[in-house]
A and B are shown apart, each in its own frame.
Chain A
Amino acid sequence: MSDHSAVLDAHQDEHVAHQFANAKQQYESSNLGMWLFLMTEVMFFGGMFGAYVIYRTWYPEAFKIASTATNVPLGAMNTVVLIVSSLTMALAVQSAQLGKKKMLVWMIILTMFFGAWFLGVKAIEYSEKWHHHHVPGANFIWEGDGGREVQILYCLYFAMTGMHAVHMVVGLGIMTWLLLTAIKGHYTPKYYNPVEICGLYWHFVDIVWIFLFPMLYLI
């Protein structure tokens, strides 16, 4: 492919932004961009994982006690809910690849539904903690042993799940945008790039939860 035709390509394809030579370059660039962004996200959560590792080894007893007070059935349910939403997201990408517009729209709606479900459950868990005075800060009361150390776990619990929930909310915002554009029929088998990179983000948030669940609830 000569460069001249690349220029023509760019003019022909409405989805190719002016700075790119062709659709392939645009596709690869945005894909790489999202992967790099996820790389920074790994490090973003990594700081908290580091703190978790240190305090988990410092206060093993307190962490064991504290995790008994978490609501494991709700956490497990949320894990399942997120895995389902990951499946629907993956199927959304597949529908976009195959050009099944109706399926794509439904899959995005389902993904959002499960995302919202997750946040709803999270809200229930948070209010439960608030009710039991397990929210660190002035309100914190711990009847059992080692209150100070237990509180550290709850600090980490709220920081990590809170940061995860913020990512979920952002994800829902992105999904809303994706839904609107999908309904308008923006995506074709030739151009489904945004669906795919939003999917990458969604799966990443799922993966974070896959680790948070055992770390904060089980061990």
Chain B
Amino acid sequence: MSAYVETPDAASKVNYLTNGWTWQSWLLTGDHKRIAMLYLISITVFFALGGAFAAAIRLELMTPRGDLMEAETYNKVFTMHGVIMIFFFLIPSVPATLGNFLIPLMVGAKDLAFPKINLLSWYLYIIGGILGLYVAVSGGVDTGWTFYTPYSSTYSNSAVIATAMGAFVAGFSSILTGLNFIVTIHKMRAPGLTWGRLPLFVWAHYATSLIQLLGTPVVAITLVLMMLERGFRIGFFDPALGGDPVLFQHLFWFYSHPAVYIMILPGMGVISEIVTCYSKKSVFGYEFIAGSSLAIAILGFFVWGHHMFVAGQSTYAGMVFSLITFAVAVPSAVKVFNWAATMYKGSISWDTPMLYAMGFMGLFTIGGVTGVMLATMALDLHMHDTYFVVAHFHYVMVGGMVMAFMGGLHFWWSKMTGRSYPEMAGRVSAFLVFIGFNLTFFPQFIVGYLGMPRRYHAYPDEFQVYHVMSTAGAGVLGIGYLLPAIYFTYSLFAGKRVTDPNPVNAKGLEWTVPTPPPTENFIVPPVVTEEVYAYAEQEEKSLV
């Protein structure tokens, strides 16, 4: 603690974790760091739950016949896997935990602009999550996470309304988080922290928040209309009532395609921070990485129709959507090339976060190029709704986003908790995740091209060998995730204490505050005088 004797306020020795031990001090807190921890815990619970459903899916698919569970059970299991992972894990994962924790620190603010709204958004998330859990224990829902009409609005006999309500409520949590971020980034930056000096993590979250604000309300109202149709038999999307089921898909994907960028962009922000820090290099092409985040966010709203090439959408509309989808590949490629270039002539550490970041770059690239394949209309004719899509999606989301989330969690773990994690175990888990992931999902590309449709609970015999490989990989992947769960929990209570505010010699305002940060973040309001990622001028020490 001797490092902080010079801080003017003695109270600064109380950090945000030790500032109050009552339940109220956590559940009624306005402190963005505590809310981030609340999110971290709840998100972990949902990730575990979604993972359990995934395990059930993989076990069932080991054999071509549906012998482990009934078709109906299987449908509910994959729906719950999708709903939980998308709405309650992937969308809030990085923004609500790492973003919540780090954005005020990175911009030099004492908190987010609206702490009470931040807390409200956690409660909304929890209410949505409880609805989701209620559905899971009370009989399940079997529509798939996409809620396509008229199946969801008319034919399904499961708890569609409760699930959609959960997604609806969680959507507002997402909107409020985005709103808070944008206001904070615009209005609460420390003096000297110009837009050109903002960490790329903040840029990525800015782009994410824009999508959250503009996209989420559309899916919210769409789900409301779907629930009205189901509840009162009034027609919006059911052709029997004069509606158009494809309209539901349009409105749904208007949000849900940009939503995949809500999921991946924050991960890209994390990777930018990790790559620079562990290469000891300023980022290569700062403006291009920042700009590509915005480009992805905006272009993302023009491409939703690529989910509907064979869904009865007009061929010509499909053509336009296909072309713009190809264009989205460019900013994504720019990012990957820039990260790779950042490593050039760097001083590259092989610590856990960097291993995850390297894994991200490779796997995200595969996810991206297979996305280009699916954007080709002719290939989509064959591969739409097959395991090829499943594999592509998981390469981006698990190989990309979850890798980035794990990397970021390791990177900022000491800052968040004031404890360290066992480095060796971290590296082992990073390797296990990488191997297990590829073993799980690579065979799905092949089986997808062979024609294995999604959401099948039984399938022809010749696909079995790939499913067995997938299931085996899922086992390895499971261990890869279990390991960090164990050592992080251990570290939280009994890990070695970290008091160095900047153990990895990283740049950025979050590393100038004590570890763990005090409730007010900055005892003295920071002033930024240095360019972003000034790793090369390491001699000039601190930012303040």
Contacts and interface: CB of A to CB of B under 8 A. Distances in A.
Is there direct touching of A and B in the complex, by C-beta distance under 8 Å?
A: yes
Interface of A: 3, 6-7, 17-21, 25, 28-30, 32-33, 36-37, 39-41, 43-48, 50-51, 54-55, 58-59, 136-138, 148-149, 151-152, 155-156, 158-159, 163
Interface string B194-225: 00000000000000000001111111111011
B221 A45 contact: yes
16 contacts: A18-B111, A19-B110, A19-B115, A33-B179, A33-B180, A36-B183, A40-B175, A46-B221, A48-B225, A51-B251, A54-B247, A58-B244, A136-B234, A137-B233, A151-B235, A155-B228
Given A54-B244, A137-B233, A155-B234, A25 B187 contact: yes
B182 interface: yes
Given A29-B113, A30-B113, A47-B225, 14 more contacts: A3-B525, A6-B525, A19-B104, A20-B113, A40-B216, A44-B217, A45-B221, A47-B217, A47-B219, A47-B220, A51-B247, A136-B235, A137-B233, A159-B228
B251 A47 contact: yes
Contact of A29 (B183, B224, B233, B247): B183
Given A44-B217, A137-B234, A152-B243, A33 B225 contact: no
Nearest to B251: A47
Interface of B: 104, 109-115, 117, 175, 179-180, 182-184, 186-188, 191, 213-222, 224-225, 228, 232-236, 241-244, 247, 250-251, 254, 520, 525, 527
Contacts of B115: 17, 19
B217 A21 contact: no
B233 A138 contact: yes
B130 to A, nearest CB: 23
B218 to A, nearest CB: 5
Contacts of B254: 47
A64 to B, nearest CB: 16
Contacts of B520: 18
Contacts of B183: 29, 32-33, 36
Q: A30, A43, A148, A159 — which one has the most chain B CB atoms within 10 A of its CB?
A: A43
B258 to A, nearest CB: 11
Contacts of B234: 136-137, 151, 155, 158
B191 A3 contact: yes
B257 to A, nearest CB: 15
A163 B233 CA distance: 18
Contacts of A21: 188, 525
B251 A40 contact: no
B187 A32 contact: yes
Nearest to A148: B242
B93 to A, nearest CB: 21
Contact of B222 (A17, A45, A47): A47
Nearest to B191: A3
A53 B352 CA distance: 52
- 9 closest A-B pairs by CB: A44-B217, A19-B111, A47-B221, A136-B234, A43-B217, A148-B242, A29-B187, A137-B232, A47-B218
Given A3-B525, A37-B179, A39-B214, A32 B186 contact: yes
A207 B244 CA distance: 28
A59 B525 contact: no
B169 to A, nearest CB: 14
B218 A19 contact: no
Contacts of A159: 224-225, 228, 236
Q: B219, B232, B234, B520 — which one has the most chain A CB atoms within 10 A of its CB?
A: B234
Given A33-B183, A59-B242, A151-B235, A43 B214 contact: yes
A43 B218 contact: yes
Nearest to A46: B218
A40 B242 contact: no
A28 B114 CA distance: 12
Nearest to B113: A29
A158 B236 CA distance: 12
A199 B462 CA distance: 65
B284 to A, nearest CB: 32
Contacts of B228: 155, 159
Nearest to A150: B242
Contacts of A37: 179
Contact of A148 (B110, B117, B217, B241): B241
B221 A29 contact: no
A65 B111 CA distance: 55
Contacts of A158: 234
